[in-house]
């Protein structure tokens, strides 16, 4: 039977997942995809119209390539981002090369993964557990830790800036602080305490 720590880790919305991987043919039709790519792409099509009798994964790829499910360019990596539910993923394409060293015009590889800024939130589950933060409060704090404003956090979480303020007030109450700096101070204190206990 898994421990409660393992259970909470599996429910952690920021837990790292395997990247999605696809191979597209010359017409950008999927010829291979792994289970994670299927999960991300299937979820990305929720609320989007699908043509009857069409492959939902192919429809999701078409939607992304046409820009209908593209969020923005990431500043650092230059990879387009896509939405799947409330999550953002970077969509990166790679050329494949044949044995003779020439680029294959027939197949393109695609990697779909959580953007680097979200992967940096790995230390947040401990803080979230210690202060009994909800998933959304933990997500808000993780974005705050990156130095984002309420407006920027709201855009990433797809909520209003007022909702972000509500999350932050709730976090402040749980952490017994009165400012955003106080939240960050508690996070720093938590990470230094864990280093001292090693």
Mind listing the pLDDT tens digit for each residue in 174-184? 999 999 888 98
Q: Which residue has the higher pLDDT, 78 or 8?
A: 78
Mind listing the pLDDT tens digit for each residue in 79-111? 678 877 777 788 888 888 888 888 888 888 998
* Residue that the structure tokens 């299927």 belong to: 38
Q: Tell me the β-bridge partners of 96.
A: none
Q: Which residue has the higher pLDDT, 53 or 34?
A: 34
What are the strands of the beta sheet with 20-24, ordered from one edge?
30-33, 20-24, 103-113, 87-97, 80-84, 70-73
Q: Which residue has the higher pLDDT, 55 or 33?
A: 33
Angle at 110 between CA 12 and CA 53, to 5 degrees: 90
Domain spans, the chain: 18-113, 119-196
Check pLDDT > 80 for residue 51. Answer: no
Check pLDDT > 60 for residue 137. Answer: yes
Q: In the CATH scheme, what is the code of domain 18-113?
A: 3.30.450
Phi, psi dihedrals of residue 169, rounded to the nearest 5°: -65, -40
Mind listing the pLDDT tens digit for each residue in 15-42? 446 788 999 998 989 999 999 889 888 8
Residues in the chain: 198
Q: Tell me the pLDDT band of 14, cut-offs 50, 70 and 90.
A: very low
Mean pLDDT over 175-196 rounds to 75
Q: In the CATH scheme, what is the code of domain 119-196?
A: 1.10.10.10
């Amino acid at each position: 039977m898994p421990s409660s720590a393992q259970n909470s880790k599996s429910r952690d919305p920021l837990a790292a997942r395997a990247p999605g991987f696809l191979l597209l043919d010359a017409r950008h039709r999927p010829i291979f995809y792994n289970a994670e790519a299927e999960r991300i792409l299937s979820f990305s099509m929720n609320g989007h119209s699908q043509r009857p009798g069409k492959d939902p994964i192919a429809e999701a790829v078409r939607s992304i390539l046409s820009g209908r499910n593209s969020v923005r360019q990431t500043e650092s990596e230059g990879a387009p981002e896509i939405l799947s539910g409330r999550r953002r993923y970077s969509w990166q394409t790679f050329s494949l090369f044949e044995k003779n060293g020439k680029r294959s015009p027939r197949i393109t590889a695609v990697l779909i993964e959580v953007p680097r800024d979200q992967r940096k939130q790995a230390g947040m589950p401990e803080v979230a557990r210690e202060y009994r933060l909800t998933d959304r409060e933990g997500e808000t704090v993780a974005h705050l830790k990156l130095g984002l404003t309420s407006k920027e956090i709201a855009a990433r979480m797809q909520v209003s800036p007022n909702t972000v303020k509500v999350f932050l007030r709730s976090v402040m109450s749980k952490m017994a602080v009165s400012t955003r700096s106080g939240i960050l101070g508690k996070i720093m204190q938590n990470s230094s305490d864990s280093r001292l206990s090693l």
